[in-house]
Structure 1
Amino acid sequence: MPRERISFTELYDSSRQHWPESTEGVSLIAPAVYRLHEHLSTLAETVFKRHRLQSAEFETLCALRNSPDPHRITPTELYRKLLVSSGGMTKILARLEDKGLIDRPANPDDARSRLVELTNRGKALIEEVTEQLLQQEAALIEKAVDSSQLEKLLMTWLDNLERSAEDKPPAHPSYAEK
């Protein structure tokens, strides 16, 4: 049975009433994003569970699917795309290989390593799971007041954060144009 939580508004109102100094002059953006993340994570985990995937496996399959055809890259390239330790990556790859979702062909450029390649089964699965996830996310996003404006603001904020962390030029100038 899912855990029932009080609404974000109720939580904030309770804090204002019983701990006012915790809410004075504080933006609600970060706590609201955390709560939205909970909703999105719960939705995603439900879809993943239906397909017997863990979140890290889904992310790995997505990273492979986002690679050029034949969706084959080195473990190092894969590791750089994901927030996971090298030991964690080894375990994820072993599980995906056991499920027949990836292959590990020899690397023609380096006999000491093996590549990671999405199988046809893995490609079909990640496309199906992603389609289901996108449909369910779209239903949540429909509840946003102005989703296009919200998307623009969030992407600009995220781009600014990532640029300042890496001292890079804007990755997506098109967001400012939307």
Structure 2
Amino acid sequence: MPRRRIPKKRYLSPDPVYDSRLIHMIVNQLMKKGKKSLAFRIFYSTIQQIGETTEQDPLIIVEQAVRNATPLVEVKAKRVGGSTYQVPRAVAPERGTALGIRWILSACRNRSGRNMVTKLTNELLDASKKMGNAVRKREEIHRMAEANKAFAKSRV
């Protein structure tokens, strides 16, 4: 964390096709080695596949999936004396969204399947139904925060 000035927050422009900031956040996390056009191609194919399988608006399903994977609390390690405590704390909305997106993408990368489009489609559909590894990770974090609620008085 910087000692002198707080860095200016950079705001993301919406994506060109759907005019959504959330999609641009997902594409930026999906991108590897600066290949943004490939990331856009993968994600737009995913959205098209979601629309074909569910016959609903795919943007609503993607938003629901990210919302279901977004944590409300997280635990942060704090050292007191010689021991380390896991202190639960609330998550800012922007950080929560970023964590949810990161968990969805890591879960779909670990998934078995042929290509990234089908893996991402299945993970987003599972997350929108409150299933899948990303939602399981969120529930695990919430359980850890609930278990360590006694240390909430010693905020970080």
TM-score for both structures, normalised by structure 1:
0.22
Give the number of the structure with larger relative contact order, counting CA–CA contacts within 8 Å between residues 6 or more apart: 2
Whose Rg is larger? 1
Task: Give the TM-score taking structure 2 as reference length.
Answer: 0.24
Between structures 1 and 2, the one with greater strand share: 2
